[in-house]
Structure 1
Amino acid sequence: MKFRVDRDVLADAVAWAARSLPVRPSVPVLAGLLVEASHEGLVLSTFDYETSARATLQADVADEGRALVSGRLLADICRSLPSKPVEMVLDGARVSLTCGSARFSLQTMPVEDYPSLPSMPAATGTVSSEAFAHAVAQAVTAAGRDDMLPVLTGVRLEIDGSTISLLATDRFRLSHRELGWDPRSPDDTVAALVPAKVLGDTAKSLTSGSEVTIALSTSGSGEGIIGFEGAAAGGTRRTTTRLLDGEFPKVRSLFPSEHQTVATVSKQALIESVRRVSLVAERNTAVQLAFGDGQLTLDAGSGDEAQASEAIEADITGEPITTGFNPTFLLDGLTAIDGDKVELAFTQASKPVVISAAPAEAEGEQARESDDAAFRYLLMPRRLLS
């Protein structure tokens, strides 16, 4: 194996492929990055039996071949190389890497022990890469991080014709995002539970090209795989991951159809106020929000401890209401919402609030309004200290 490749193209592709390497691999070869050179170019791959990454890029290949080397070490080396072409040569059990006057020699791992990457399922459809990355970033806000509840660490991806819905919850909050896409079959209706971390990292990393291809394969036994592919500098990027097994809770019904109190406030003013007031909130205690008389009053702290209070303007329709929320969860939802103003809709103080972008006020904002309205964040209240 011998090839020559642009330093920036190689460093970017190696870093992308190595990002999904396991921290504690079950077997040593899973810490490796597979380098394959052929007359078609260069292919860099990683796989841990759950998630695979495959980057193709252009290179001047003198001799075909393949080698398995430490992925994290190669990424560190490529990141530090000078801005000159890189040459890699396989010589026996070692790979030599030359870039300008810098030279490295890497020990290889047994290629024959490396597992075969799963095949990409048939394409289900395509979606704008920027729109998909933004929608996923909003949806994963509410995904669980407790591995003891694996179903809640996923995002439920529902495909219904030309619409994709993304749902995530950790039992204390719920996110719902919809976006349009171009399906291969307009009559398809399918759902999958995708690991939130993989989905978030992948969507964010595939924005170099204009669109992302989504390929989904499910089976009645719960086994399934989803793949994502997009263009990148000098080639393409492809990720596959196994779907999570289990029944995602039926959460859509949690969004109420009617509201008794609706408040519209400046998003940035509310974010800044919550951040200030929550400085005195003890761990696991709520920040109180009182809506009434044209303003929202935030309070935190109690008794002999530090206390804080602040009021901001609010446009309120309906009855006055006082409730409280985990400030971190509240800020997560607010920062995920687009637009300058947010709408907080309540049924009663002991029930969840639904937070979304406020409707656009001008015709010029009509296009943005439809996108903003596609994201809703539901947050459970916390008990207020007396």
Structure 2
Amino acid sequence: MKITVDRDVLAEAVAWVARSLPNRPSVPILKGLLIRAQDDTVYMSSFDYETSAKITVNAQVDEEGEALVSGKLLSEIARSLPGRPVRISTAANHAELICGSARFTLQTLPVEDYPNLPQMPSATGTVDSEEFAQAVTQVVVAAGRDELLPVFTGVRMEINDDRLSLLATDRYRMALRELNWNPTSSQLDASALVPARVLAETARSMSSGEKVTLALASAVDAEGLIGFLGEGAAGSRELTTRLLDGEFPKVRHLMDIRPSLTVRVRTAEIIDSVKRVSLVAERNTPLRMLIEDDRVALDAATGDQAQASEAVEAVVDRIDPASQIEAVGCNPHYLSDALSALDTAFVQFAFTAPGKPCLVQGVDELDAAPRTDYKHVIMLMRLPS
């Protein structure tokens, strides 16, 4: 194999594929990154039996062939190269990489021992890449990180005709984002539980193109696989990942909150206030939100060592005059994540009672209806008596 490729294209392509490589591969061969040159195209791929990544880039191919090299090492080398064309050639059991006066020799791994990439499922539909990336970012903040509870580390993707819903929860918060998309067939009804980490990286890295194609294996295939196709800075990208097993909890009903009290504040102001007051919040203790007639006051403390408080102007609507809500407690990190996911000038908090779930929604104008495409629910913490 002999190829010549632009340095920036190589560095971006290798870095994207190498992100899917396992840190502790079950077998040494899985640390490899496969390079295959054919016609005027170079394909780079990785696979760890769970997630596969493949990128296609244009290059000058003087001699077709393929080689398997250490993906992490190649990524570090490509990133460090000067801004000149890169020549890669293979011979016997090694690959040689030349860029200007820089020269590297890498030992190759046996290609015949490398597993075949899974077949990409048939396309299910397409979605605007930027909107999809934003939706995923808004939802994955609520996904769990505990690998001992894998069902909570995923994002439930629900397809109902031309409506695509993303839902995540770690049991203490929930996020739901709904958006329109273009299915390949009408009256499509399907669902999948996608690993949140993989989904977040995929959506972010495929935002250069106009559309992202989703390819969900049908129930008949029983592959338990989902694929994504899109464009990145260095070329077209394909990724597949195995779906998570387990029954995702039924939490949608928790989004249907009928509040007894709502509070509206400027999003930027409350974000800054939460960040400042949270600096003195003790671990696992709530950030208190004191609700008054025309403002909310935040306070937190670390025992007797440090205290902080700050008030933010607000519009308070006591829908139920009998409501006795005067103060609520929030996990400051969860509250900050929910607020940072919004892209509206104002935010509305909808409360039913202290210690009950709180619904957070974006509001474009102070007197406008809250947006319904994105909902974030935080389980409130009990305040010490």
**Shorter-chain TM-score tier:** over 0.9
Match of 2:360 in 1: 355
Aligned counterparts of 1:273 and 1:221: Cα–Cα separation in 2:
51
Query: How much does 1:234 deviate?
Result: 5.5
Q: Secondary structure at the match of 2:202?
A: helix
Within 2, Cα distance between the matches of 1:360 and 1:309? 27
* 1:323 match: 328
What is the distance in 1 between the residues matched to 2:67 and 2:302? 63
TM-score, length-normalised on structure 2?
Answer: 0.95
Distance in 1, matches of 2:110 and 2:303, equals: 65
Partner of 2:377: 378
% identical equivalent positions: 53
Residue 18 of structure 1 contacts residue 72 of structure 1 at CA under 8 Å; is this kept in 2? Answer: yes
Aligned-partner Cα distance in 1 for 2:219–2:124: 15
Map 1:119-268; keep pairs closer than 5 Å.
119-219=119-219, 223-233=223-233, 235-268=235-268
2:137 and 2:200 in contact (8 A); partners too: yes
CA contact (8 A) 1:264 1:341 kept: yes
Give the Cα separation in 2 of the matches to 1:321 and 1:146.
Answer: 34
What is the CA-CA distance between 1:83 and the residue it aligns to? Answer: 1.1
1:102 to 1:289, Cα distance in 2 relative to 1, 3 A? same
State the shift of 1:272 in Å: 1.4
Corresponding residue of 2:350: 345
1:93 equivalenced with 2:93 (yes/no):
yes
| CA 129–75 in structure 1, closer or farther in 2 if over 3 Å, else same | same
CA distance in 2, matches of 1:377, 1:335: 11
Aligned partners of 1:177 and 1:376 also within 8 Å = yes
Which consecutive aligned stretches of 4+ in structure 1 deviate over 4 angstroms post-superposition?
A: 220-223
C-alpha offsets along residues 188-229 of structure 1, whole Å, 9 cap, x if unaligned?
010000000000000000011111010001437975100001
| 1:344 alignment partner AA | F
The separation in 2 between residues aligned to 1:146 and 1:221, in whole angstroms, is 30
The aligned residue for residue 337 of structure 2 is 332
Report the equivalent of 1:19. 19
Q: Any unmatched runs of 5+ in structure 2?
A: none
Compute the RMSD of aligned alpha carbons. Answer: 1.7
Per the alignment, residue 64 of structure 1 pairs with 64
Partner of 1:44: 44
How far off its partner does 1:321 sit?
3.0
The answer on whether the counterparts of 1:321 and 1:348 sit within 8 Å (CA) in structure 2 is: no
Structure 1 Cα separation of the partners of residues 221 and 229 of structure 2: 25
> Distance between the aligned counterparts of 1:44 and 1:62, measured in 2?
17
Amino acid at match of 1:70: S
CA contact (8 A) 2:264 2:366 kept: no
**What residue ranges of structure 1 are gaps of 5+ in the alignment?**
none
